[in-house]
Amino acid sequence: MKIFVIAFFILSSLPAVSGQVEKTIHQTFDIGESTTISLALAGEYSIVPWAGNTVMTETQVELYDASPSILKHLLEKDQRYRIDADTTGGTIKLISFDQKREPVRTRSGTCTELVHIKVFVPDNFKGQGETTFVKTR
């Protein structure tokens, strides 16, 4: 019985281990009369052509060794994964709100953060370089 009590106290004194939390965020942007799409996004992203008439972004966030409340704070308070659109002069420019994305630190250390953005670009836009797309028809 003494061993069980000791084991209970040892296990209960260990810090709570947080697992993986993840979230997928979708945003859509109306192109309007824009003939050019320009990207200034932080981190890795991939381009996916699609038959829509808007630009859509899908941001997949995986956070390891963090609690759901930390992810919620990053989403709502820090707006870490927000993408803004600037439409001037016939161009729509998608810009990451947080360009730096400093490492996420908690009391127990640094969290591993995986972020991947898919940018769904209308199929009537053709790529010119890695960050610019021009309307073809």
The answer to whether residue 4 scores a pLDDT higher than 60 is no
9 inside domain: no
The answer to whether residue 14 scores a pLDDT higher than 50 is no
2 inside domain: no
Per-residue pLDDT reduced to its tens digit, 75-99: 899 888 999 999 988 899 999 998 8
How far out from the chain centre does Cα 32 lie?
Answer: 25
* Per-residue model confidence (pLDDT) at position 15: 47
104 inside domain: yes
43 inside domain: yes
How many domains would you assign to the chain?
1
13 inside domain: no
Please tell me the distance from the alpha carbon of residue 59 to that of residue 46, in angstroms, as a whole number: 11
Please tell me the distance from the alpha carbon of residue 134 to that of residue 36, in angstroms, as a whole number: 5
110 inside domain: yes
Other beta carbons less than 10 A from residue 10's beta carbon = 9
For 73, the domain range is 18-135
* Per-residue model confidence (pLDDT) at position 47: 96
